[in-house]
Amino acid sequence: MSDEIDGNTILAQSLKEQGVEYVFGIVGFPVIELGMAMQQAGLKFIGMRNEQAACYAAQAIGYLTKKPGVCLVVSGPGLLHVCGGMANAQVNCWPLLVIGGSCSEDHEAIGGFQEYPQVEMSRPYCKYAARPPSALLIPTHVEKAVRLATYGRPGACYLDFPGNILQGRVESNNIVKSYIHPEPPLTFPNPKSMIEAAEMLMKAKRPLVIIGKGAAYARAEVALRQLIQQTNLPFIATPMGKGVVPDTARQCVAPARTLALQRADVVLLLGARLNWILHFGRAPRFNENVKVIQVDIQPEEMHNSIPTSCAIQSDLLPFSEMFVDELAKRKFRLAKSGEWWQELFEKCDKNRETVNRMSMDVSVPLNYYAVFHHLRMKIPSDSIIVSEGANTMDIGRAMLLNNLPRHRLDAGTFGTMGVGLGFAIAAGLYCRDYHPGKRVICVEGDSAFGFSGMEIETMIRYQLPIIIVIVNNGGIYSGFTKDDFESIQSAGDPSLVTPVTALNVETRYEQMMSMFGKEGHFVRTIPELEEAVKESLIPSDHPSIINVIISPQADRKPQNFSWLTESKL
């Protein structure tokens, strides 16, 4: 007779064996004992205040470590609350494993507590969704879920555990043991396609490289930095592709992004998708006759919006290393004195002048550019920047530079609001455990902060010195002055007259720190901002909130195009 073991312990040990390190969630029936078993197995459990934030944190740690974070939730409503997070991970291509408790099987179909068809509900948001039919098979399903979350294009997986399976006991000798799968296999490019891509680039008059977050996830930064330096090709990066090659590199033409996209005749697309972020690759944002060399791990992504001239299925790391050698053999280097570079340099200089003028305008109330410029001057250059909001995030992409890969987390492909503080908690844990001393700067719009503001209590509890900068304009996109807001509110029923984009004027978010016996920072001027950042950077065991009041009508610099390509239907 072998020893008996319960489902909670089997599950916790299986996760540990498969290399899982972090669990985020909120416990309740039937997963309280599971949370305890996870800690006993050596998994780091971070109790959050909202299931959505827990799910965002779990997927962000998956992106940063390449090992799926786990989001643990209760049955029914608990799982429903993480659907947005599961979808975000799936669309963002980040590894995530959601584990949901569910009502005991003998209570199904008779109105069990929080009964819901959880596997079926999760399946549209996942690569894999299943319920182990027995505690004996838990290791098999955990191995598969972790493997599918990380192999190929990463994404979300879901495992469902009824209370009777978690609490039931089985003989340990009867457990179906699983294996520890190896690291995901690498897909190498077709050599003929490499030659074709090299020849297309060499014939291009106006080539451009676009670097996506797929390149960051692939850890391809060393090879891609060598590629850009060796070839002198101009490049831009998608928001979370920033830092793979430094934003400060001479070849970065982000200030001339619109011109570069419109005029490029050959685009080398590395780990990015031609979706809304890149205007679908279509005119008028792109050259109507542009040729695209698309490198992606997933073949189904090829030709998705426009015909791809050269489609290469490959992991970014082997492609980048091999392509460096292919272009070196041909001694390819784009002359910096050519017409294309001169055109790009002129546009970069012109746009930088515009931004610099706005950055140097420190009149009160402040504008976005002045806040971001002076913030960048005071924070460590190797900080992980989490950014969320409308104008706050969009303008911050240009103003808050990244010179290291995987050092920017934002709303991403799905454009999800509410991710900020969850992402910041994941980044804070990652820095604490892997890069001690590195700082996390979470830059939030006031509307964005409202989605998950109580997660500051989580930061306090787990001693994470995250700096939260709230760029407060009193609204969504824009707000109102105090006089205008009071005039609107007095005009009638507030639910009928208050503008749909309005929030309260100058809300004192920094005073939330007083709940924990700490002080926040209320900022109106640049000297106050600089002093607040200086104080917040002093080593501590708690977060900081810097509440920066800006003009309610502050906006981005004039654009040649709307930031979002409009539908023609």
For residue 139, what are its two tokens? 């290791």
Q: What is the pLDDT of residue 558?
A: 64
* C-alpha distance from residue 39 to each of 36, 47, 139 (Å): 5, 12, 18
pLDDT digits (tens, 9 = 90+) for 391-430: 999 999 999 999 999 999 999 999 899 999 999 999 999 9
DSSP 3-state of 465: coil
> How many angstroms separate the CA atoms of 211 and 330, rounded?
22
Q: What is the pLDDT of residue 563?
A: 55
Q: Is the pLDDT of residue 476 over 70?
A: yes
Q: What is the pLDDT of residue 113?
A: 86
Poorest-pLDDT segment among 63-77, 154-168, 486-500: 486-500
Poorest-pLDDT segment among 14-28, 66-80, 476-490: 476-490
Q: Is the pLDDT of residue 331 over 70?
A: yes
Confidence label for 105 from pLDDT (cuts 50, 70 and 90): confident
Q: Is the pLDDT of residue 568 over 90?
A: no
Instruction: Calculate mean pLDDT across residues 530-553.
Output: 97
- CATH fold group of domain 4-174: Rossmann fold (3.40.50)
Contacts for 439 with CB less than 8 Å, ≥ 6 apart = 379, 380, 383, 384, 431, 465, 467, 537
Residue by residue, DSSP assigns 397-411 as: HHHS---STT-EE-S
Q: What is the pTM of this model?
A: 0.96
For residue 29, what are its two tokens? 């029936």
For residue 8, what are its two tokens? 């909670």
Burial class (CB in 10 A: 0-12, 13-18, 19+), 80: middle
Q: Is the pLDDT of residue 38 over 80?
A: yes
SS (H, E, C) 505-555: CCCCHHHHHHHHCCCCEEECCHHHHHHHHHHHCCCCCCCEEEEEEECCCCC
Q: What is the pLDDT of residue 491?
A: 87
For residue 457, what are its two tokens? 């209590």
Instruction: Calculate mean pLDDT across residues 364-372.
Output: 97
Poorest-pLDDT segment among 112-121, 232-241, 442-451: 112-121
Contacts for 532 with CB less than 8 Å, ≥ 6 apart = 521, 523, 544, 546
Q: Looking at per-residue confidence, does 143 or 480 come out higher?
A: 143
Q: Is the pLDDT of residue 565 over 80?
A: no
pLDDT digits (tens, 9 = 90+) for 277-328: 999 999 999 999 999 999 999 999 999 999 999 999 999 999 999 999 999 9
> How many angstroms separate the CA atoms of 309 and 295, rounded?
11
Confidence label for 166 from pLDDT (cuts 50, 70 and 90): very high
> How many angstroms separate the CA atoms of 225 and 280, rounded?
26
Q: What is the pLDDT of residue 272?
A: 96
Confidence label for 115 from pLDDT (cuts 50, 70 and 90): confident
CA atoms within 13 A on the CB side of 149: 32
Mean pLDDT of the chain: 95
Q: What is the pLDDT of residue 230?
A: 97
Q: Looking at per-residue confidence, does 557 or 272 come out higher?
A: 272
Q: What is the pLDDT of residue 554?
A: 87
Instruction: Calculate mean pLDDT across residues 264-276.
Output: 97
Superfamily of domain 191-345: TPP-binding domain (3.40.50.1220)
Cα angle, residue 29 at apex, residues 25 and 32 outer, rounded to 5°: 55
Q: Is the pLDDT of residue 487 over 60?
A: yes
* Under 8 Å between Cβ of 421 and 456: yes
Residue by residue, DSSP assigns 276-341 as: GGGGGG-TTTS-TT-EEEEEES-GGGTTSSS--SEEEE--HHHHHHHHHHHHHHTT----TTSHHH
Which is it for strands 96-102 and 235-237: parallel, antiparallel or unpaired? unpaired
Q: Is the pLDDT of residue 1 over 80?
A: no
Instruction: Calculate mean pLDDT across residues 257-270.
Output: 97
DSSP 3-state of 440: strand
Q: Is the pLDDT of residue 359 over 90?
A: yes
State the greatest distance between any 2 C-alpha atoms of the chain, in Å, as a whole number: 81
Listed by start position, the domains of the chain span: 4-174, 191-345, 361-564
SS (H, E, C) 130-199: ECCCCHHHHHHHHHHHHHHHHCCCCCEEEEEEEHHHHHCEEEHHHCCCCCCCCCCCCCCCCHHHHHHHHH
For residue 328, what are its two tokens? 């070196």
Domain 361-564 sits in CATH 3.30.420.40: no
Q: Looking at per-residue confidence, does 488 or 52 come out higher?
A: 52
Q: Terminus-to-terminus CA distance in the chain, angstroms?
A: 70
